[in-house]
DNA sequence: TTAAGTGCAAAGGCTTTGCAGCATA
DNA sequence: TATGCTGCAAAGCCTTTGCACTTAA
């Protein structure tokens, strides 16, 4: 089956189960970032028998395969999103909870500078800013 | 008692208990960053009856009062340190677990740029880099 | 066919909370 | 003295795991 052979999971020798397909579909369709519970609840709407354990197991798999990014905004905001080609980070509005993506060329510069000054090899940058979004800062 | 009147807790109308004093002392003396459990274990050495609940309650209080910073490196590394005047961030070696502090003037630039481009008011930047420290990257 | 995934329920780790007793100011 | 803190134990929350059954390839 050509579709499955090209599937990101099949390529890496992992069976494409209905549950995995469903979870990836939901993550792809999601306009916002989902945490494990939100993903589970959306999955339940289409598969009444899917379990939360399956959601966690597959989120971990997707993360290991590099299919999704895990974004830990704080102890309660841990969300997941399908990995896209363009690297970006997040702004978190502490007033309304809105999550906004941002990019900046300064991040690569910062990483390069720190790697040089501290003799460090950076594999990942965890970065987000907390504050007030456009709407909330007016008040 | 003059000492207590000048105490950071007393100033903010919170009783200075022996437990709070002990916890602040340990945090001040700590060369490295401590998580709740490590802080509790060090506290036990000097007060056999202190409870983990007291540690958590007071860490939250100190955080609210701005006496300590909470640094959440990932889901298992959540550590605390006495707040100092100089702002800094952290490098986390994913090989040996070492935590190194770093500073960079590019961070302020980055924040200013993002605030301008995205019409955002940043109150806090969460930033750390994961990778290999000097020792581990040689291997 | 068979290695791997799933659902369920139980357990794990970290953190919070209710309550009675105790200490600070 | 009165408010508020502490210790203890229990509960909460998120996440992981053991086991028997099911399924993808």
Strand D proximity: list residues 79-138 of A with CB under 7 Å: none
Cα distances (angstroms) measured from residue A72 to each of A33, A98, A132: 11, 14, 18
Q: Find chain B residues with C-beta within 8 A of A109's C-beta.
A: 106
Hey, which residues does A35 pair with through a beta bridge? A79
Given a cut of 80, whether residue B57 has pLDDT beyond it is yes
Q: Pick the more confident residue, A33 or A67.
A: A67
Take residue A77 and report the two structure tokens written for it.
């905001």
Per-residue pLDDT at B1: 39
**B47: Cβ under 7 Å from strand D?**
yes
CA A32 / C1′ D17 distance in Å: 30
Query: The pTM is what?
Result: 0.75
Position A79 pLDDT exceeds 50: yes
Residue B84 has pLDDT above 90, yes or no: no
Rounded mean pLDDT, A36-56: 96
pLDDT category at B11 given cuts 50, 70, 90 is: low
| Average pLDDT value for residue range A21-32 | 90
* End-to-end alpha carbon distance in chain A: 56
What is the SS3 string spanning B11-65?
HCCCCCCHHHHHHHHHHHHCCCCEEHHHHHHHHHHHCCCCCHHHHHHHHHHHHHH
Q: CA-to-CA distance for B110 and A129, rounded, in angstroms?
A: 10
Protein-to-nucleotide distance from the CA of A53 to the C1' of C11, whole angstroms: 13
Mean pLDDT of B84-110: 86
Residue A124 is predicted with a pLDDT of 87
Answer whether B101's CB lies under 8 Å from A117's CB. Answer: no
């Amino acid at each position: 089956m050509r579709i499955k052979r090209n599937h990101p999971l099949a390529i890496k020798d992992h069976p494409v189960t209905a549950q995995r397909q469903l979870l990836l579909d939901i993550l792809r369709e999601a306009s916002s970032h989902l945490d494990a519970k939100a993903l589970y609840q959306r999955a339940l709407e289409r598969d009444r028998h899917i379990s939360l354990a399956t959601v966690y197991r597959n989120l971990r798999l997707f993360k290991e395969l590099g299919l999704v990014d895990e974004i830990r905004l704080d102890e309660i905001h841990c969300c997941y999103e399908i990995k896209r080609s363009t690297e970006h980070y997040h702004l978190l509005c502490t007033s309304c909870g809105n999550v906004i993506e941002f990019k900046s060329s300064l991040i690569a510069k910062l990483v390069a500078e720190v790697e040089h000054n501290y003799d460090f090899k950076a594999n990942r940058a965890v970065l987000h800013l907390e504050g007030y979004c456009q709407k909330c800062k007016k008040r």
